Chains A and B, each alone.
Chain A
Amino acid sequence: MTNVKFPRKEFEKHIKLTKEVEEKISLFGTPLEKIDNEEIEIEVFPNRPDLISLHGFMRGFKTFLGNGSGLKKYDIKNPEKDFSVKVFPSVNKVRPFTVCAIVKGFNFDDEKIKEIIELQEKLHFTIGRNRKKVAIGIYPLGKIKLPIKYRALAKDKIKFVPLDAEKEMSGSEILRKHPKGKDYAHLLKDEERYPIFSDAGSSILSMPPIINSKETGKIDEKTKDVFVECSGSDFNTLSKTLNIVVTTLAEMGGQIYQVNLDYMGKKITTPDLTPDKMKISVDNANKVLGLKLKEKNLRGLLHRMGYDYKEGVVHVPPWRTDVLHEVDIIEDIAIAYGYDKLIPEIPNVSTIGEESTESKTMRKLAELFVGLGMLEIQTYHLVRKEDFDIVKAGEKIEVEDSRTDYRFLRTNLINNVLNVLSQNKDKDYPQKVFEVGTVFSRDNSGESETGIKETNNLIAAISPGNFTEIKQIVNYLFASFEIEFKLKEDVNSCLIDGRTAAIFLGDKKIGYFGEVHPRTLKAAGIKMPVAVLEMNSDIFIN
């Protein structure tokens, strides 16, 4: 989710903000988050990166509010002399694609420069997957000599002064020392050659996706014309991104020129602003939406969302990245129609509701314990390393890169319960608690999909409590479910020897109970005696 802020003053140069307009902003699919005298903040969903900048947003929103002028067309001029980029095979391994454009004739001011930089950053972050998939470079054309080369060079042979630096640095130095280099070093990890753009005078323009050169890599108020490149791993995404950038620049008053790309003999001209075409059927739209639209209505609604429509075919703006299927267009039809105008209707479909047997059993179990005057607790499924130190149980199953200390799946519930008792040692006694919850273990049978077995366990602890009291609970529990069980003497490192029982169902051990050893209690910081029962509770399911 991306939130973008527009200065209110700039916004109102396009549309005056009224209560009605504010409501329409949210109904356009860009929820209005905040509005005050200075700023207006909206949320742009990841499927619509074309709405991230003010000019991009206005292109869509004004059409939505207005009479629906359909697909916006831009004047795009053919490449002039030397408007070309040669792509070398050396980039294949590291960052294989680029698409480029030239845009001329701006009148930049502070606000516009800010808007472009923000657009660039937000696109990097969203559609660009943090520069991995797409990185965008914009250069003042006046400072570079066309044509351009895109190639990869040995990391130590690359030498230029990057933005925000004072002296020349090598490619590997930039990754080690430059702040941006450090941030994005992982994208070039293990590479020997780094990609660069260089001009006809052999100056390095940039080292994507890390940083531009200080000399040629920054636009300012004096910049009239720009060279734009997008580099990355997916040609299609790059093309869409370039389209978003150049049409936004055109919205600001620029004139788009194409650039010839030479991919080792294969010639491509970019940007390509030909609309995508997608079939749509009025029936399908009506079926999904529950409406009775005619083709005429449909056309009108499509125009309001910036599409063109001709005989069952929708022309999709070339800067839209999210239209994969007819349903994506149908959603836009609904937005144009107005979500607030869709009349709710519950179909007359009768079905019978039902609780699952598993959750029903767990609920009954909890009710028994509540009836015994016990408090239910709920603890985390993930536990810390030190939690295993109280009672060791089973092989650890660990998650990768947890952002907290909680990084192991619990293999029992007793550790959690002892933690709870320890944290409540200054609260009133007696303390009687229980929990029914999932525990995890390795499944070596090869039967499960994930290699991890999940069972529901039940834990009950009473403090102060003794063997008799916990055994009474066990007897009561099994009697309530009419299940026969057997006891055997058991040894458990955390319980007192001779006061520990294993519960058997047939010849399978399903749990244990007994008095917790003072050694364990002391280690857990508990000052009162505790009697405990832990067992598999799945056995109570029918």
Chain B
Amino acid sequence: MPKETEKLAEGLSPLERKIIPFLNLSPREIREKTKLDSTSLLRALKFLENKGALKIVVEKNRFVELGSNGAYYKKNRLPERRLLDVLGEKRTLGFDEAKSSSKLSDNEFKVSLGILKNRGLIEIKNGRIEMKSERSELTKQMFEEKFLEKLPLKEDELNDEEKSVFEKLKKRKDIVEVREKKIFTFILTELGKKVAGREFRNDFLEEVTPEIIKKWKKGKVFRKYDIYSDVPKISGGRKHFVSEAVEEGKRIWIELGFKEMSGKKVQTSFWNFDVLFTAQDHPVRELHDTFFIKDFKGKISDKKLLSKVKQAHESGVEGSKGWNYKWKEEEAKKVVLRTHTTCLSAKKLFELKKEELPAKFFAIGRNFRNETVDWSHGFEFNQTEGIVVDENANLRNLIGYLKNFAEKLGFKKIRIQPAYFPYTEPSLEGAVWNEEKKEWVEVLAAGIFRPEVTAPLLGEPIPVLAWGPGFDRLMMMANKINDMRKIYENDLKYLRNRRAG
């Protein structure tokens, strides 16, 4: 056997093997011989096409076929024939009598009468139908009858006689109709011609079964699969890309020696703003910036802390002048959806004992702001931040940690510039170099907590370094998402097919 024929033979599926002996025939004949349905035959032909044995040709044809009435008349004779038969016996009949004995409907009767009259087979005289033609005439097959017998026929292959009959029948209800059909034929290639009509060995093994394993013998051969042929698509379970990013973030913090803080999303203004020395008339505390919860009032359980915070705002602590206004407890009791995870840092500092120092913590999670939604804004966003509580920490350490953190995120170059945040001083912003876009991207906010924050919480102004990256921004960069709305869109197609890693 030539090499390519041999290769083909080894890979034949049972279906293909079934049709190869008949490949010299037409598809219709193959179906008759093999008893395959048309879908299976087509599949087998497609396999062989993939292997280069043949080429499938799809032909679209318009066929004239029997309509629903046509099929009925073919079986029960055309109405005009039935009328003619009745008349052939009696020669002359009254309308009612002719109609009832031919068992035609009003409409059929009328149509048949017209047809027979036009052909000169009958005459209407004195309200009666009279037969004009000879009896022998009547036994001849009509053109219509012949035509119906021959259907289906290709529309463009009708001869003149057929065409005129077709035109006539088309005018009558549902006797004939035209349907478009795809017809598959195929042309054998050189390879195909070599194998057509041949029988091939069929002792190849198909699927591996426990039986085969058990009785395995040397010399048995597996059928070779067409490794190029398409298989049905599958998709697996995946985490959401926000969760993946959160986990990646956690991993980085943990590797750097930070402990995770978790906490509530609903907080009092006291923890979200006041302990962080955000003045009560600061714009961020207005309705159009922060989500306040309707009809809820929180409580501030630690009275000592409350009075310290009040003092920090009104007249200052630790040498600070404070904001110099009347601080209102009621304002601090308003309940909000947290606007940052810094409230968790504040709570942690308050719990912390001096023996536990130095200590490092991080938080990661969802925050809220009263925003409209567009490509770069959303009312929910993710944030992460870390704090280092260390009596000896300083600004150069903060920059050191930041550099280290940026490297962990995969950025080699970092640029540090002054910045401003209400609760840190000094404050700074870190931009990282995006090698792909050749530009600096501001992603890191950082600072040392103000003494007005640390003194009430820790009892003394111990340095607390704090920083956090623009989490959603980094995540969007990594996932090549340029529309923030996409984050919570939950398009299953995207979630299934997005790039891994």
Shortest Cβ distance from A186 into chain B, in angstroms? 12
By beta carbon, the residue of chain A nearest B252 is A353
Contacts of A397 in B (CB 8 A): 293-294, 296
CB of A272 closer than 8 Å to a CB of B = no
Q: How large is the interface on A (under 10, 10 to 19, 20 to 34, 35 or more residues)?
A: 35 or more
Complex CA–CA separation, A158 to B350 (angstroms): 54
Docked complex Cα distance between A363 and B403 (Å) = 29
Contact between B240 and A378, CB atoms less than 8 A apart: yes
Of the candidates B259, B322, B397, B418, the one having the most CB atoms from chain A within 10 angstroms of its own CB is: B418
Is A525 among interface residues, defined by CB-CB distance under 8 A? no
The smallest beta-carbon distance between B15 and chain A, in angstroms, is 27
Which of the residues B368, B372, B402, B426 comes within 8 Å of A331, measured between beta carbons?
Answer: B426
B287 touches A401 (CB 8 A): yes
* Given A288-B463, A400-B287, A406-B379, A451:B238 Cβ within 8 A: no
B415 CB to nearest A CB, Å: 8
Rounded to whole angstroms, the CA-CA distance of A346 and B393 in the bound complex is 9
Chain B residues closer than 8 Å to A326, beta-carbon distance: 319
Residues from chain B with Cβ under 8 Å of A406 in the complex: 379
- Does A328 make an interface contact (CB < 8 A)? yes
Do the beta carbons of B243 and A378 come within 8 Å of each other?
yes
Asked if B496 contacts A450 (CB within 8 A), the reply is no
CB < 8 Å: which of A330, A339, A376 contacts B239?
A376
* B492 and A325 form a contact (CB under 8 A): no
A33 to chain B, nearest CB (A): 11
B interface, size bucket: 35 or more
**Cβ of B260 and Cβ of A381 under 8 Å apart?**
no
Interface segment among A145-153, A222-230, A431-439: the answer is A431-439
A288 contacts B266, C-beta separation under 8 Å: no
Q: CB within 8 A of B379: which of A130, A403, A420, A423? A: A403
Residue in B closest to A417 when the chains form the complex, CB atoms: B490
Q: Which residues of A contact B395 (CB under 8 A)?
A: 288-290, 334, 342
Q: Bound state CA distance, A454 and B262, in angstroms?
A: 12
Q: B325: nearest residue on chain A (CB-CB)? A: A234
Q: Taking the complex as formed, is B41 at the interface, i.e. its CB lies under 8 A from any CB of chain A?
A: no
A264 proximal to B (CB < 8 A): no
Residue pair B293, A452 in contact (C-beta under 8 Å): yes
Contact A325 B321, beta carbon cutoff 8 Å = yes
A394 contacts B by Cβ under 8 Å: no
* A375 B397 Cβ-Cβ under 8 A: no
**A327 beta carbon closer than 8 Å to chain B:** yes
Q: What B residues does A335 contact at CB under 8 A?
A: 418
Q: Do B448 and A288 have beta carbons less than 8 Å apart?
A: yes
Q: Which of B261, B298, B335, B426 contacts A334 (CB 8 A)?
A: B426
Within 8 A of B (CB), among A406-430: 406, 409, 420, 423-424, 427-428
Per-position binary interface string of chain B over residues 415-429, scored 1 when its CB falls under 8 Å from any chain A CB and 0 otherwise: 111111000011111
Q: How far in angstroms is the closest Cβ of chain A from B426?
A: 4
Interface residues of B in 177-206 (CB under 8 A from A): none
Give A431 to B493 CA distance when docked, in angstroms.
10
| Chain B residues whose CB sits within 8 angstroms of the CB of A279 once the complex forms | 319
Name which residue of chain B comes closest to A129, CB basis: B281
Interfacial chain B residues near A402, Cβ < 8 Å: 291, 370, 379
CA distance A368 to B490 in the complex (A): 20
Query: A330–B488 Cα gap in the complex (Å)?
Result: 43
Pairwise interchain contact B380-A382, C-beta atoms closer than 8 A: yes
Q: Is the CB of A327 within 8 A of B292?
A: no
A378 and B246 alpha carbons, distance in the complex (Å): 12
Whether the pair B380, A380 counts as a contact (CB closer than 8 A) is yes
Whether A345 contacts B258 by the Cβ 8 Å rule is no
> Which listed residue, A28, A354, A366, A369, touches B418 by the CB 8 Å rule?
A28
CB neighbours (8 Å) of A450 from chain B are 264, 266-268, 293, 296, 298, 335
Residues of A within 8 A of B452 (CB): 324-325
Provide the main secondary structure of the chain B interface: mixed
B370: A residues at CB distance < 8 A: 399, 401-403
Residues from chain A with a CB closer than 8 A to the CB of B265 are 381, 438, 454
Which chain B residues border A373 with CB–CB below 8 Å? 236-237
Does B247 have its Cβ within 8 Å of any Cβ on chain A? yes
Inter-chain contact B417/A404, CB cutoff 8 Å? no
CB of A404 within 8 A of CB of B373, answer yes
> Does B237 lie within 8 Å of A404, measured CB to CB?
no
In the complex, A352 has a CB within 8 A of chain B: yes
Inter-chain contacts of B262 with A (CB < 8 A): 356, 358-359
A449 at interface (Cβ–Cβ under 8 A)?
yes
Minimum C-beta distance from B388 to chain A (A): 8
Near A by CB (< 8 A), chain B positions 246-300 give: 247, 250, 253-262, 264-268, 271, 281, 283, 287-288, 291-300
Nearest chain-A residue to B279 (Cβ)? A129
Question: Does B401 interact with chain A (Cβ within 8 Å)?
Answer: yes
Contact (Cβ within 8 A) B490 A369: no
With the chains together, A81 CA to B298 CA distance in Å?
Answer: 56
**A468 an interface residue at 8 Å Cβ cutoff?**
no
Q: Which of B25-33, B119-127, B358-366 contacts A (4 or more CB under 8 A)?
A: B358-366
A349 and B390 contact, CB distance less than 8 A: yes
The smallest C-beta distance from A416 to any residue of chain B, in angstroms, reads: 9
A324 pairs with B322, CB closer than 8 A? yes
Bound form: Cα–Cα A344–B266 in Å: 37
Asked whether, in the complex, the Cβ of B490 is within 8 Å of the Cβ of A352, the reply is no
Q: How far is the CA of A449 from the CA of B267 in the complex (A)?
A: 8
25 cross-chain CB contacts under 8 A: A26-B417, A29-B418, A236-B324, A279-B319, A290-B396, A327-B426, A328-B425, A334-B426, A339-B417, A342-B399, A344-B402, A351-B257, A351-B358, A353-B255, A370-B239, A379-B490, A380-B380, A381-B366, A397-B294, A398-B295, A400-B294, A420-B492, A424-B491, A452-B335, A454-B265
Other A-B pairs, 19, CB within 8 Å; known A29-B419, A330-B426, A452-B296: A129-B281, A288-B394, A289-B394, A289-B426, A290-B395, A324-B321, A325-B319, A331-B418, A334-B418, A340-B415, A345-B399, A346-B401, A351-B359, A370-B237, A399-B292, A399-B293, A400-B291, A402-B379, A409-B293
Across the A-B interface, give the 9 residue pairs with the lowest CB-CB distance, nearest first: A290-B394, A45-B420, A353-B254, A290-B396, A29-B418, A331-B426, A344-B400, A356-B260, A346-B400
Taking beta carbons and an 8 Å cutoff, which residues of A are in contact with B?
Answer: 26-29, 31, 45-48, 129-130, 132-133, 234, 236, 279, 287-291, 324-328, 330-331, 334-335, 339-340, 342-347, 349-356, 358-359, 363, 366, 369-382, 397-404, 406, 409, 420, 423-424, 427-428, 431-433, 438, 440, 449-452, 454
